Amino acid sequence: MDVTTIAWTVLLLPLIVAVSILLGLKRWSGLASLVSTGSAFITLFLCIRLAGGGDDLEAASFSWINMGDALQIDIGLVLDDLSRGMMLIVTSIGFLVHLFSLAYMKDDAGKSRYFAGLSLFMFSMTGIVLADNFIMMFIFWELVGVSSYILIGHWFEKDSAADAAKKAFLTNRIGDFGFMIGILLVWTLTGSIYFNEIAAAVGGVENAKLLNIAVFCVFCGAIGKSAQLPLHVWLPDAMEGPTPVSALIHAATMVAAGVFMLARVTFLVESAEMAATVIAWIGAITALVAALMALQQNDIKRILAYSTLSQLGYMIMAQGVHHGSDAGMFHLYTHAFFKALLFLGSGAVIYACHHEQDIWKMGGLRKKMPITFITFAIGTAALIAVPFTSGFWSKEAILEAAHHEHLWGPYTLAIIVAFLTPFYMTRLVIVAFFGKNRSDNADHAKEVGPIMWVPLALLAFMAVFSAYDFLTGPLMANGHADIGHLIGHFGLTATLSLTGLVVGVSAAIYFYKGKDKDPISIPAFADRFYIDEIYEKLIAIFQDGASKVCDLLDRYFIDPIVARFPAMTAMTTGSILRIFQMGNVQTYAFMFSIAVVALIVFLIS
């Protein structure tokens, strides 16, 4: 197969699988799950072949909207280092999640629907990665929203899951509102929706103010998808979906889309200085605020969710830093593996503990589930940036980039986060895996089967080594572990982050070793700074309040004045009324119809 065929196959195969499950395969859920997993394997295999390198190319495209000179929108695929690398992340994590789900969702009543959703998710994400223009990216951007709606709301008979699905979609829509405006403004300024044409034209844009606004609006899309402040609220709630879905959404697909999109349009961000600064700040603030929230969570998946938010903050921050985009993508790449590992590990724990998610009701799992423990510990090490794990290198790259550009504000926040992350992750590991069993469920926990621990082991390997040359290869041309560089430039950043690691871990051990309940209580962190509650109030006041007012206005003002008044006048005077009062409307209607039809027939013949 030539490269073009491979690229189209990678894109369309998951769609074909999703549609065929929908149209018929759904009756045989076992078969449906195998077909879906098989297709994920095939796309992974094809993406490995694509990753072998080759020139950048635009695969042949299909004309979607053709309006002559006014507008041409194609569905076209672009293959370059960025998309090849991203595809490898998406398909490899995607495949492992499929594999893990085979066991995790074995007895679920909606198994077919679940796997159709997974395939649709893979299709949508692939479309974002391979898109060669903004509108195509937006199309798949929206489809990712729908797939997440289907998967988060998988157990839709539960109120919490149904609400979480709705919340995720609507919060994303708010971001997309800005994204669409941004696309329209970019189109206005550069006259194109194609990335390569925009890149060529952006230098000639004279209206710098509007360009900054446009880039900020485009960034709004990333705020929604990558769950940055202030649109972060959907991500923790999205934990209501099955745990493998959390791994997929958090590690490889949905939230990565925002970072990827900014990396795709680096040329735009770099040309809009103000907007770039805003991006860096929002990323840094999100990293800090989410880390603070994570300190006081007790649900194992929620801790991981806030840590995802925090790490995404790092990646977004990097996109706003001059020359920082590659570092951000590098972190996205390493994070995808260790975060998928942590989520699937938490899935194994939850599965073994009979759907117990409170870490204070676990404890002592280290001995019950040794493989899960070891892999989880490796994932944690990567997340808290223990030297020589993959996470260490990529985080270092981001901090270095910010340092190099003298962005002291975001840099300071990011360093503080480097102290907090080791603290809350060590807390999680100590409470859940050490000490004594604190509930019957934890007492009865057993190690999970190989179909679940094999993906964990593979991911654990990647969590350590994914940063090194022999794995990043040509994909992450500008991001890989470089020990020589580190030793040569061992400076402020490395010193601070290593201090953060030591301080964070020791403090957590000091506070949490052997404890049965949380010795620290900071309600503001535990309650997520009350942001969700504030939003609910705001929605109740502005949206629902305004709706009620408009509804009343419509019923008691506009309708009576515009409609009823003339209607009443006409009714009292009209002779039509008399026909009606004679009662026989049907006869009247029938006679009328006959007359009209007869007239027309007469006229035509």
Stretch that binds another protein, among 344-352, 406-414, 439-447, 571-579 (CB under 8 A): 571-579
Length of the chain measured in residues: 605
First to last CA, the chain: 63
Q: Which is nearer to another protein, 22 or 498 (CB)?
A: 22
Does residue 594 interact with another protein by CB under 8 A? yes
Residue of 289, 415, 222, 480 lying closest to 407 (CA atoms): 415
- Per-residue 3-state assignment (H helix, E strand, C coil) for 176-230: HHHHHHHHHHHHHHHCCCEHHHHHHHHHHCCCHHHHHHHHHHHHHHHHHHCCCCC
Size of the site for another protein (CB under 8 A): 75
Residue 29, classified by CB atoms within 10 Å of its CB into exposed (0-12), middle (13-18) or buried (19+), is buried
194-253 residues near another protein, rule: CB under 8 A: 207
CB of 335 to another protein, least distance (A): 28
DSSP notation for 378-428: HHHHHHTT-TTSHHHHHHHHHHHHHHHTT-HHHHHHHHHHHHHHHHHHHHH
| CB nearer another protein, residue 261 or residue 321 | 261
Q: Which stretch binds another protein (CB under 8 A): 171-179, 271-279, 335-343, 360-368?
A: 171-179
Please pick, from the candidates 49, 106, 173, 367, the single residue that binds another protein as defined by CB under 8 A.
173
Footprint (CB under 8 A) of another protein, residues 572-591: 574, 576, 580, 585-586, 589-590
Give dist(CA 323, CA 530) in Å, integer. Answer: 36
Shortest CB 602 distance to another protein, Å: 11
3-state secondary structure of 166: helix
Closest CA to 336 of 268, 254, 281, 224: 254
Binding status of residue 66 toward another protein by CB under 8 A: yes
Please say which residue, 499 or 593, places its beta carbon nearer to another protein.
Answer: 593
Residues 506-565 that bind another protein (CB under 8 A): 543-544, 546-548, 550-551, 554, 558-559, 562-564
CA 121 – CA 98 distance, rounded (Å) = 11
In the complex, minimum distance from the CB of residue 230 to another protein, in angstroms, rounded to a whole number: 15
The 10 Å Cβ neighbour count of residue 273 is 14
In this chain, which stretch among 155-163, 325-333, 363-371, 458-466 interacts with another protein, using CB under 8 A? 155-163
Is 138 a binding residue for another protein by CB under 8 A? The answer is yes
- Which is closer to another protein, CB of 167 or CB of 366? 167
* Residue 121 or 314 having the CB closest to another protein: 121
Residue 202 CB, shortest distance to another protein, in Å, is 14
Look up residue 283 and give its two tokens. 């990323």
**Under the criterion CB under 8 A, does residue 63 sit at the interface with another protein?**
yes
Q: Cα 586 vs. chain centroid, distance in angstroms? A: 59
Indicate which single residue of 14, 85, 153, 320 sits in contact with another protein (rule: CB under 8 A): 153
Give yes or no for residue 174 binding another protein (CB under 8 A): yes
| Binders in 69-88 for another protein, by CB under 8 A | 70-71, 73
